[in-house]
A and B are shown apart, each in its own frame.
Chain A
C-alpha cells in the first residue's frame, strides 16, 4: 500500500518537473523573441515600479504614472509599469531588474520606500537612468549617494501644507482643525508642519482664530487602513473639529467618507485633500464636495519633466531636485469651489510672497506639534 503511494508520488513529481521545464523553456523563448523586437533605434523606453497601492490610487502612483504616460505619448515611445508583489527592497529590485531586462532604460520609482532599492540598482545597471520621487538613494544608513544616472526629486510639502493651512483658516475663520497623517515619514510630517505654520500665519496676519490641539494631530501608522481613517475622523468631528487635513492615502479616504456622511446630514465639516486635487473624491451630492481645498504637489509634472529631459539629453543625473513654490511644483488647486473669491485672492498673494522669498516656511518641527 505505501509503495503504491510512493510510486504515485514519484510519478507526480516527475510529471511536475517535466511540465515546469517545458513552461520554463517556453517562457525563455518568449523572452528571447521579445528581446529581438525591442531595443533597436535611439528611442528609449520608460518604465515605472509602483509603490504600495495601485496604479490608479488617485494619489502618488497615479500622479507619477500620468506624467510618464503624458510624456511618452507625446514622444511616441513605449511605457510600462510593474506592481511589485510586496514592498520590500527585494521586491522592488526584482521588478527594476525585470524592467531593465525588458529594455526599459529610464525607470521611475515613486516613494521613499525605494531609497535602498534604487541605491543598489543605480550601480548595478549603470546604463539605465533612475528617477526617485520623495527620496534619495542610500544603503540603509541614510548616507545619500545619488549616482550619475539617478535623479532624486523632493517636494516642498511644507509650502503646500502652508498654503492649504492659510486657505482653510481664511475660509473657516474660527474653530478647531485636525490633522491625520499616514506613516510618520518626512513627506507627511512636512505637510503637517507646513499646515500648522500656515494656520498660525493666517491667525497672525489675517485675524483668523483657528486652533490645532495636540490630540487632533495624529499619524495613523499606515496608508491603507480605511476603517481607522473613518473612525479617527469621526472622533475628531465629534469633538468639534471643523476641518481635517488628511495626508494619509487610503486612511484619508476613510476620513473623506466620514466627512461626506456628516456633510449630507447638514453638519459643517471639511477635509483638506492631499497630493492631488481631491475635490471629486469628496462629492456627496450634486455639486457639493466635502473637500475644502487640497495641498498638492506636482508629481505628474515632475515625472513628465524627467522623461522630456532624458529625451533632450539633459537628464539631471546626480542631482537632487526640489519642486517648490518658486518653480510651481507645489500649491493648491487652480479652482476651489468651496473657497470664496476673496480667500483665493489672499492665498494667491501668499503664494506670490512665498515665491518672492518674503514668506519662509520651515520644514522642521521646531515648536510645532510633532
Chain B
C-alpha cells in the first residue's frame, strides 16, 4: 500500500495543482459576489497563451526555464484580459453571470483553436520543453522519512508557486481588511457599500484574479503533464468549480477538495499499471470522485456556506 502511494503521490500532486489554482481563482470571484462558471474557458485561454508564447520563443531563446516563466506570465495576462469580458458583462452590465460564464467557455475553445491554426498552422501547438522535474534537495527535504518521498520527490517549481499563492490568498482573505471587504461584497454588497466600500472595484478585482489564476492553471497543465495545446482542458475547469463548492468556498477546504479529486483521478488513471489495483474495475475508479462529489454536495447542501450575494448583480 505504502509503495503504491509513494509511487503515485508526485504525479497526483502534479495533477492537483492546476485544479487547485483554478478553484482558488473561482474562490476570489465568488467571494466578491460574482459566479464564474467560465473557469474552464479561462483555463483554455491560459493553456493557449502559454503554448503560443513558449512556441514562439523557442527559436530565439535558448533558456528553457525562462521561456516557461514568460509563458506563464503571458497566460496570466491573457487570462486577466479575457476575464474582463465576464467582469464587464456581469458587474457593469448586470448580465446573468451564468450566461456570461457560459459564453466565455464557448468562446475560449473556438477562439484559441482558430488563432492557433492561423498563427502556427495547426490547432495543436507542441512545445519542446516544459518545467523540469526535480527532487527538492534544499535542506535535505527529500530525505525526511515518509514526508520526503511524498512531497519533495519529483516536483515542479510551479507547484511551489501555487502553494505560495494559496497561503498568500488565505492571509489576504482572512487577515487583512482588504480581504474582509472583499468577502463583505459577496455576502451583503449593500451593507458593504454603506460602509464606504467600492463594491464594483472589489468585484472587478475578484473576477480578474479568477481569470489570472484559472489561466495560470491552464498554463501549468501545458508546461507540466500535457506538453501540447489541444484546445481543451477536458472539463478540469468544471471539476475546479466542484472542488470550490466541495471545499465550501474556503482556501484550505479547496486545497483538500482539489487534492481529493487529483488523487482519485490519478489512481483511476494509473490503476491498470499498478498490479495491486488491477482487480478493481477501472470504471469504478474513474467514476469514484464524481459519485463522492454528488453525495457530498447532497449532504452539504443544507449547511452550504456559499457567499450569500454570489450570483446576484449589484
Chain A residues engaging chain B, CB cutoff 8 angstroms: 54-58, 215-216, 218-221, 224-228, 230-232, 234-236, 238, 250, 253-254, 256-258, 260-261, 264-265, 280-281, 283-285
Contacts and interface: CB of A to CB of B under 8 A. Distances in A.
B204 interface: no
Contact of A235 (B64, B130, B234, B270): B270
B129 A285 contact: yes
A217 to B, nearest CB: 9
A54 to B, nearest CB: 5
Given A232-B269, A232-B270, A254-B226, A261 B124 contact: no
Contacts of A258: 225
Contacts of B226: 226-227, 230, 253-254, 257
A112 B64 CA distance: 40
B273 A235 contact: yes
Nearest to A236: B273
A226 B128 contact: no
A238 B273 CA distance: 11
A235 B15 contact: no
B230 A56 contact: no
Given A230-B225, A231-B270, A235-B274, A261 B130 contact: yes
A218 B270 CA distance: 10
Contact of B227 (A225, A238, A257, A285): A257
Nearest to B4: A235
Contact size class for B?
Answer: 35 or more
Contacts of B305: none
Contacts of A234: 11, 270
Given A56-B121, A231-B15, 18 more contacts: A54-B231, A57-B124, A58-B122, A215-B278, A218-B272, A218-B273, A221-B282, A225-B269, A226-B230, A234-B11, A235-B7, A253-B226, A256-B227, A257-B226, A258-B225, A260-B130, A260-B227, A265-B133
A50 to B, nearest CB: 11
A236 B133 CA distance: 17
A231 B123 contact: no
A224 B269 CA distance: 12
Contact of A260 (B129, B269, B282): B129
A56 B123 CA distance: 6
A264 B273 contact: no
B43 to A, nearest CB: 13
A254 B89 CA distance: 37
Contacts of A58: 122, 124
A280 B128 CA distance: 9
A253 B270 CA distance: 16
A54 B228 contact: no
A219 B64 CA distance: 33
Nearest to B232: A224
Interface in B234-281: 234, 265-266, 269-270, 272-275, 278
Contacts of A250: 230
A30 B226 CA distance: 42
B201 interface: no
A221 B269 CA distance: 10
User: 9 closest A-B pairs (Cβ-Cβ)?
Assistant: A257-B227, A228-B269, A56-B122, A230-B225, A235-B273, A218-B272, A231-B269, A231-B11, A54-B123
Nearest to B121: A56
B130 A257 contact: yes
Contacts of B231: 54
B132 A215 contact: no
A347 B113 CA distance: 40
A230 B225 CA distance: 6
A257 B228 contact: yes
Contacts of B15: 227, 231
Contacts of B272: 218-220, 232
B71 to A, nearest CB: 15
Given A226-B230, A228-B269, A283 B225 contact: no
Contacts of B124: 54, 56-58
Nearest to A288: B128
Interface string B62-88: 001000000000000000000000000
